[in-house]
Structure 1
Amino acid sequence: MTEHSDRLWTLTQHRADELGLDLQEVASTANVSPQTLYKWRKGGRVTAKLDRRIHAAFEWEYGSQQQVLDGGDPTPVVRSGPPSPPAVFDDPREQAIWSLSALTEEEKIYLIGALRQRDLIARDSATG
């Protein structure tokens, strides 16, 4: 790893800690495998869709990974007003969960993460 990819590795661990998540939960929230998250944290390239999901899970502006690899700092997402559904909710089931007004944002994120984890397990079972 290079100096900047080492820094990305450290910053992502600190960010997960700030968010109160372990890295498995970050991967689940982003709907990516732990291996994909590992690759990304080492500075590896992933598809734009997965890249956006990982940035959203870390609550960083899109492009923050490259900023760190270029020697800069990640840009945290700044929220104002009530949260809107993240762009990574392309699954209608996730959109339905997000629209439930009876749940807190944390509960919605938890349920969407659990749904994504279940989908990953089902996908692995089907290909295994």
Structure 2
Amino acid sequence: MNSTSEAVQALAALMEQRRKTLRLQWEEIAARAQISTTHLRRFRNGGAGISDIVEARLEEALQWAPGSIQRTLAGGNPTPLPGEGGSLMEAAAARAAGLPSVQDYSLGELEEAYRTLSTAQLLALLAESEAGMTQEERAKLDRVTEQEMEEWRRAQIRRRLIWGKLMRGDLADPKSLTDQSDMSS
């Protein structure tokens, strides 16, 4: 057995352990990572790779810190995010806003707390969340963030094109939006 397959097996075992800890099914993990269960299974078995963006989503679904998958494949261990079910940013936001736990508050209360944070506090939260990252992890986070922004920009452009077609009457059936050919004009 070579070291790559041993690393993949170690990662698969740690992913299984984390899934059980979080009391989730693989279908839930796949849905949270926005990939098919088949692709997730193939990745866990070493039969498929994943992009940086899917890797980041999978780490988020497993509630691991950014870079955990690569660290595990390199022989290290994943870093679980603090708190049960919480994220690093939620934990930092709770500390900065003086809240005991994010889960203890309604969405409205959390939105109000967010609105009361100053720009300096938000920047401090960002710095705190990135404090433990290596330069490689920070570069990967920047790449993933840029990919997410590009996806968002494309979605906004598509939304505007669809709106224009609807307003001109060029799109008779809004259900046909799943057909990419509607976007050709």
The alignment's TM-score, normalised by the length of structure 1, stands at 0.58
Q: Secondary structure at the match of 2:107?
A: coil
Q: What letter corresponds to residue 21 of structure 1 in structure 2?
A: L
- 2:107 match: 101
Which is richer in helix?
2
- 2:27 match: 24
Counterparts in 2 of 1:81 and 1:66: CA distance versus 1, 3 Å: closer
- Whether the 8 Å contact between 1:37 and 1:54 is mirrored in structure 2 is no
Separation (CA, whole Å) in 1 of partners of 2:70 and 2:58: 13
1:59 aligns with 2:63: yes
Correspondent of 1:37 among 25, 35, 40: 40
Correspondences of 1:82-101 after superposition (within 5 Å): 101=107
Separation (CA, whole Å) in 1 of partners of 2:21 and 2:35: 20
The structure with higher relative contact order (CA 8 Å, sep 6+) is 1
1:47 aligns with 2:89: no
- Whether the 8 Å contact between 1:8 and 1:65 is mirrored in structure 2 is yes
Correspondent of 2:76 among 72, 76, 100: 72
- Structure 1 consecutive aligned stretches of length 4 or more whose deviation exceeds 6 Å: none
Query: Which is greater in Rg?
Result: 2
Counterparts in 2 of 1:62 and 1:39: CA distance versus 1, 3 Å: farther
- 1:95 match: none
- Whether the 8 Å contact between 1:65 and 1:74 is mirrored in structure 2 is yes
Q: Which segments of 5 or more consecutive residues in structure 2 lack a partner in the other structure?
A: 83-87, 95-105, 109-178, 180-185
Quote how far apart the aligned CAs of 1:82 are. 5.2
The alignment's TM-score, normalised by the length of structure 2, stands at 0.42
- Whether the 8 Å contact between 1:6 and 1:42 is mirrored in structure 2 is yes
Quote how far apart the aligned CAs of 1:52 are. 1.0
| Number of matched pairs | 90
Instruction: Give identity over the alignment, percent.
Output: 30
Counterparts in 2 of 1:81 and 1:70: CA distance versus 1, 3 Å: closer
- 1:122 match: none
Point out the more displaced range, 30-39 or 42-51: 42-51
Root-mean-square deviation over aligned CA pairs: 2.8
